[in-house]
Chain A
Amino acid sequence: MSMTQHAEPAVTSPPAPGPKETDGRTAERPLVVRLLARPEVGVFLGAVAVYVFFLISAPPVRDASSMANILYQSSTLGIVTIPVALLMIGGEFDLSAGVGVITSALTAAMISYQLTMNVWVGVIAALVVSLAIGFFNGWMVVKTGLPSFLVTLGTFLILQGVNLAVTKLVTGNVATDDISNMDGFDQAKKVFASSFDIGGVQVKITVFWWLLFAAIATWVLLRTKYGNWTFAVGGNKDSARAVGVPVAFTKISLFMLVGFGAWFVGMHQLFSFNTVQSGEGVGIELIYISGAVIGGCLLTGGYGSAIGPVFGAFMFGMVQQGIVYAGWNPDWFKAFLGVMLLGAVLINLWVQRTMTRR
């Protein structure tokens, strides 16, 4: 995955706002080259390749409702992948995001159930807890200067233990109680886990949230001061600080955004499955990070986009479901997944190298 690191830093800063305001340097390059130099182009082509491949080899994929299913799988990964990508652009990692999703869902379920409260009380409490975890991660990283890999590895382990121990302590079991008959559940389910009918196809609401969050993140990244700060703290922290970028605020808030993403998907899981098992979520953090890297974000920070990770998550969902739709021998499942992803990343690398060299 470090292959994308060869991309030139020339495109790290967000491009100028519009064609009218472009400076001389970018205006001289042809439009196609400028487009292809964007971080998300490689992954876009990779995703198209994977899509076409399965369109040919797996007939059920041609069905619109199959696409809705693939998009659903992608969206539950993608909603967290977006903030994870922003954080990576800001130069940090979060390994605790996967179990953080379950922590959030457990918090909401247990608070609502044990106190017999309207489920919205649990939902809000879970948001507070998730943001607090993000704040703690960010604060530790900023205050101690330790690599975020170590800090969040710590939180990852802590949360795994806490998820299990607290659930067992509070409920006496290792899964939460069913909250589907409680006040506010139906309302919350509409927000987090309902589906819409589009031309006879049931599309899950998480798909819309995913695309909405991606649009917001893109706008923030390319059009606002906060977006510039994100690129700056990931590029070079010290020079960013020297020119007046609030490094601590930016990093901590980026970690809190990951907390928000984890909360959202946690709520989806809770209101979609009614209960949560406390041992879930381990290993998913790597999928979020791979989604961001496949989506064109540099592991070293300072480079990337919010749209790339959307295609990154889509590629994961497409490959994971495509193999099943194609009806291939399931023993090979993980191997197929690995080969397809490597192939996609190679396309990504090739595009970036060819285009940025000019």
Chain B
Amino acid sequence: MDRSSHPRSRRIAPVVAVAAAAALTLAGCSSSSGGKKSEEGGANASAGKATTPRMTVALVTHQSPGDTFWDIVRKGAEAAAAKDNIKLIYSHDPNAGNQSNLVQNAIDQKVDGIAITLAKPDALKTVVGKAKSANIPVVGLNSGLSDWKKLGLMEFFGQDESVSGEAFGKKLNDLGAKHTVCVIQEQGNVGLTQRCDGVKKTFSGKTDVLYVNGTDMPSVKSTITAKLKQDSSIDYVTALGAPYALTAVQSISDAGSKAKVATFDLNKDLTTAISKGTIQFAVDQQPYLQGYLAIDSLWLYKNNGNYMGGGEQPVLTGPAFVDKSNVEAVSKFAANGTR
């Protein structure tokens, strides 16, 4: 051992020296503003933990990978799981067939409860039936407001996309908008289409729809720019997700347009934009609450036989408006990535 370590340490020495030198050089490159150092220690609310027996719950969503919105849902679910002494199994697939396989997988694991999103209800009908015959309680969240009862789910947590679209349209009326373009980042997504339809229904001005490729930001930017050039009467851009709203702000300046931006859903940078005034308002459906309540409800059912919403009515988590008047209260939670 001793023999071999000597030559090695001799070989390592120059490497260490170079690394140290590099570290010193890098230290000279420190940023004096922004960055991790400027981040305030966001203390997570760490509540006590339930003493009920350990249980396992599966959360199966139609999330596509790397979406900021779903990350918040998951954080809510994880917070509830930690408090309720629950082992949470999170899985997701945007393809309905694959999502139903993931639910089957959870049934095979004999979990104590399943929370699912019903983006494509018909595809999940069979597997929900299987869960029921295996005596596993199933609750719904986020998507499927019109179908959860039909499929025999116990409870539902979410917002009505059409209702939130309608509320959005009314808000645009109040702000005196005349012509809006509703930017859909995923062609064929039912929920997004319902939002635009809701806006169209109540908004007294003209509503256009624009499809953009949500996985390619430069393309989103130039496509919105093109639309604003094509029709200069557009005075409000309706975005259906926070990152796209922030990009729309750049498109507007590129197109030399005077249009304003409002959006569905929130994130950290969006709250900053609202307080700066570059984005007018956001409609929040409180994704954290959807994840949290879905998991917590399964705990309550198991340990106390409770139904949220009495098993008859859905529990609505939105629409909640965030604008300049209340953004301060929201932004500190958004900074933690939980609102």
Contacts and interface: CB of A to CB of B under 8 A. Distances in A.
Interface stretch (B2-10, B48-56, B220-228): B220-228
Contacts of B246: 273
B93 interface: no
B247 A279 contact: no
B229 A66 contact: yes
Contacts of B64: 279
The B contact surface, by secondary structure, is helix
Interface stretch (A25-33, A176-184, A245-253, A293-301): A176-184
Given A273-B247, A324-B230, A330-B210, A112 B31 contact: yes
A73 B68 contact: no
- Counting contact residues on chain B (CB < 8 A from A), the size range is 35 or more
A174 B243 CA distance: 12
B269 A274 contact: yes
A279 B35 contact: no
B71 to A, nearest CB: 4
Interface string B176-218: 0000000000010000000000000000000001110101111
Contact of A182 (B35, B219, B231): B35
Contacts of B61: none
B147 interface: no
A120 B210 contact: no
Interface in A102-145: 112-121
B34 A65 contact: no
B318 to A, nearest CB: 21
Contacts of A202: 254
A182 B215 contact: no
A277 interface: yes
Contacts of A96: none
A329 to B, nearest CB: 9
A330 B65 CA distance: 26
Given A116-B36, A282-B215, A321-B226, A121 B29 contact: yes
A230 interface: no
16 contacts: A60-B229, A69-B226, A69-B254, A112-B35, A115-B26, A116-B30, A117-B26, A117-B35, A120-B29, A121-B26, A174-B66, A277-B68, A277-B243, A281-B216, A330-B209, A334-B187
10 A-B pairs closest in CB distance: A279-B66, A116-B35, A182-B34, A73-B222, A181-B34, A76-B218, A183-B31, A278-B66, A324-B226, A118-B29
